Structure 1
């Protein structure tokens, strides 16, 4: 008979630790398994994961968070997409918008019809058919509601929030489901003869044993790497940015419903508006820019007054060779790091947790389950990796050594195959339910300047005149829908304003 897990220790708090604790506490509330979080207030967290993607709504629903309360408590705002400024070339910008683009017809994606008509000069810019893009431009927002076939029925959105406040909010949720928090720093990790982790010994001498351990210790990876030597796959040659300097600033205008990613000489800078401040960070490659110049670039491109001194963060983009090794699971930065270009950090925490539930073990995990979990997480990371590389590699910029390197570097075969297929006929195949769907790939490929030679042959099923009228009709409906939406600031003020 298999013995159930009796105790799980999560090492580390922050967003990843408390997301894990909140989910385990909720799902295992009727399971005889103790959940303990060991963290130290003396150990800081990276805490820059303030932008998300729509999948986080599923996580918040899983743990039972009320959305308005969540926004109020985290001083959050809403997000309809990401604006990429100066990536294709200086002076050019585009949106990777959430949700629908146009309307699919007769089983063919809208963008194929649009490509056909655009190549003939008979279609407006893509934004004119995309509710989220227009709403971003005009700083409008609302949640979806039942409006029939209107785009207002299918508004996809995510959030910006204060990561520290989010962790605190999640901690309350977790402790409400019986999760126990212990303050302390780990001084020693003991192991069983077979290499499994046995216990964590704290600096005050306390020893805490468990059947299973989840490493949320961040870049330190105290358990999965320092103890179990799981190994790390470095993707620096494809994603050369390895540092970020971050600082909050005062609001100078009403918050936008989008994240801005503005390309710089050796990387890019994020701008994330919250209700009480703006989050800023300059991600860059230390091979192409000094720390001093990086901080100067950050300061020069911030509108409001700095609220704190800039903080330097060093990282290596890549992933753990084994996310689950023996009786230890790595979640968050302990498992790998993907720069926040597409706001995937917290999503990867969410994926790690959900897949862990799919393979939730007894006291003695099955190796085949561990191997399959690792394979699935490897797939998640590598497909996101390819999507991030796309932004750097497909560009017209050659104005700095950094951009010349990115444009001319070799890329993974999996990404090259996607690019070649798109160039030929505009087709994009979403493989095995990878995170970013065909619309996301299309928006970024086209936005970065990639132009296909053709389109799906089925786009010819409508005569050109009829197709032109259909596109004009879609454009009118999208425009009317955006006009119906209140401003982002007005929506927040009426539904979920944070306390001053």
Structure 2
């Protein structure tokens, strides 16, 4: 069998590497074809902990790739300015580690009693070890005697990561070809038979993977798969990006700061900060967005060049059509608020490997795969939508429109109703089987972080704050003594 991947970049080379790794014992040839003129947008990018598992599967040590990609560790996302009316300047969504099982129950209970009017402590970062590490700017690398598994992500240059994965994939036997694809030739059943190249070459395969970016060359252009836009749910459709000078102490977290008509990411690499203003062109134009980004970063007009990007938010109606599978931007994109882009790519590759193998390398489980992937995209979309729906900003029509947006899924409506009715959110998440998407801890981080609580009751019992009663602060501080400064973690690479 021959598998042909169309398009490189991180998505294409992640697929090539995982296919080559998982099917080493199968007579499968993997070919990756990319245009010699299409480059990767080398913005600073952040990941979820799934990327750590990706490198562990491939047996690639952090010392092998992180310095090559200007990468740093990431334990947390800090959200600044999203809920000013609640009195909360910023909140954190730490990555969840094994040790958090000792403190997350107290976090859930405190959130529940706070919804009943009790004055309990509900700051997410204070209940979760990675949140404490971020406050101390400590890295997540543990000494050998530390008995708990830490989860963390990375910040990296996406262009350099794609280049590294290309090099590694070729070592695994992936064939790399450069060609301009002008069209395809189909079989009678609608499957793709050949790729037609501009130089006259025909590239045949039994399975094709479309990683051609927003153009979706095979899935949308050639196979006619329709794209389902999420514009009614998520307004942002553009971004302006630019670098800035890295600080002497490199942060171990991404910062997402709300601006007038969107938000700005700040991603620390070893050599620079990557910054980007994600906004809606329905509310602000590109020149205004660039001016606002420069003001936010205290940048002069001629200091550093900006790049303007358009985003197509949504996903394919069918992710595996005939003998072709869409991945990456060719498959769909949800704005980068929670660093889900590569997470979805990796999860989809892994699910496809499982279903394709279980079906003896046929389309037997195609419908099952399509249903699972659509569910993934929609549940990730819901979590991102919630950031906008419950915002308490009132400085622009953009934020008011997001707060008043009626286009919510039934799943999201039920989650918010359970929270505001003071019922058990953990049970509702289990009922909806959402733990494999954004789970109970993540939803509590978001809702408690925004201060989505009723006023504090006049009469207080003076007891019942489990953060105090269970001495969570002392416990996590003691745990944090096992960790060293983020800079030391980077230097050991």
Structure-1-length-normalised TM-score: 0.89
* Residues 8-87 of structure 1 mapped to structure 2, 5 A cutoff: 8-48=3-43, 50-87=45-82
User: In the aligned structure 2, how far is the partner of 1:46 from the partner of 1:240?
Assistant: 22
What is the Cα deviation at residue 47 of structure 1?
4.1
Matched, 1:416 2:413: yes
Q: Aligned residue for 1:175?
A: 170
* 1:468 to 1:109, Cα distance in 2 relative to 1, 3 A: closer
Q: Aligned residue for 2:484?
A: 486
What is the Cα deviation at residue 46 of structure 1?
3.5
User: In the aligned structure 1, how far is the partner of 2:298 from the partner of 2:36?
Assistant: 32
Matched, 1:260 2:259: no
For residue 377 of structure 2, give the secondary structure of its aligned residue in structure 1. Answer: helix
Q: Aligned residue for 1:435?
A: 437
User: In the aligned structure 2, how far is the partner of 1:169 from the partner of 1:122?
Assistant: 48
Q: Aligned residue for 1:158?
A: 153
User: In the aligned structure 1, how far is the partner of 2:84 from the partner of 2:466?
Assistant: 32
What is the Cα deviation at residue 438 of structure 1?
0.5
Residues 79 and 92 in structure 2, CA contact (< 8 A), matched pair in contact too: yes
Residues 101 and 129 in structure 1, CA contact (< 8 A), matched pair in contact too: no
Q: Aligned residue for 1:475?
A: 473
For residue 451 of structure 1, give the secondary structure of its aligned residue in structure 2. Answer: coil
For residue 20 of structure 1, give the secondary structure of its aligned residue in structure 2. Answer: helix
Q: Aligned residue for 1:247?
A: 242
Q: Aligned residue for 2:446?
A: 444
* 1:98 to 1:179, Cα distance in 2 relative to 1, 3 A: same
What is the Cα deviation at residue 426 of structure 1?
4.8
* 1:34 to 1:362, Cα distance in 2 relative to 1, 3 A: farther
User: In the aligned structure 1, how far is the partner of 2:67 from the partner of 2:27?
Assistant: 34
Q: Aligned residue for 1:457?
A: none
What is the Cα deviation at residue 132 of structure 1?
1.6
What is the Cα deviation at residue 468 of structure 1?
6.6
For residue 243 of structure 2, give the secondary structure of its aligned residue in structure 1. Answer: strand
What is the Cα deviation at residue 27 of structure 1?
1.6
What is the Cα deviation at residue 449 of structure 1?
2.5
What is the Cα deviation at residue 48 of structure 1?
3.7
Matched, 1:351 2:338: no
User: In the aligned structure 1, how far is the partner of 2:437 from the partner of 2:123?
Assistant: 26
User: In the aligned structure 1, how far is the partner of 2:41 from the partner of 2:163?
Assistant: 15
Deviations 1:225-257 (A, max 9, x none): 000011011110110000011122221332110
Matched, 1:404 2:400: yes
Residues 327 and 365 in structure 1, CA contact (< 8 A), matched pair in contact too: no
- Of 264, 282, 289, which residue of structure 2 is paired with 1:269? 264
C-alpha RMSD of matched pairs (Å):
2.7
User: In the aligned structure 2, how far is the partner of 1:240 from the partner of 1:36?
Assistant: 37
- Runs of 5+ unmatched residues, structure 2: none
- Of 374, 388, 400, which residue of structure 2 is paired with 1:392? 388
What is the Cα deviation at residue 155 of structure 1?
2.9
Q: Aligned residue for 2:134?
A: 136
User: In the aligned structure 2, how far is the partner of 1:466 from the partner of 1:337?
Assistant: 41
What is the Cα deviation at residue 324 of structure 1?
0.3
* 1:362 to 1:137, Cα distance in 2 relative to 1, 3 A: closer
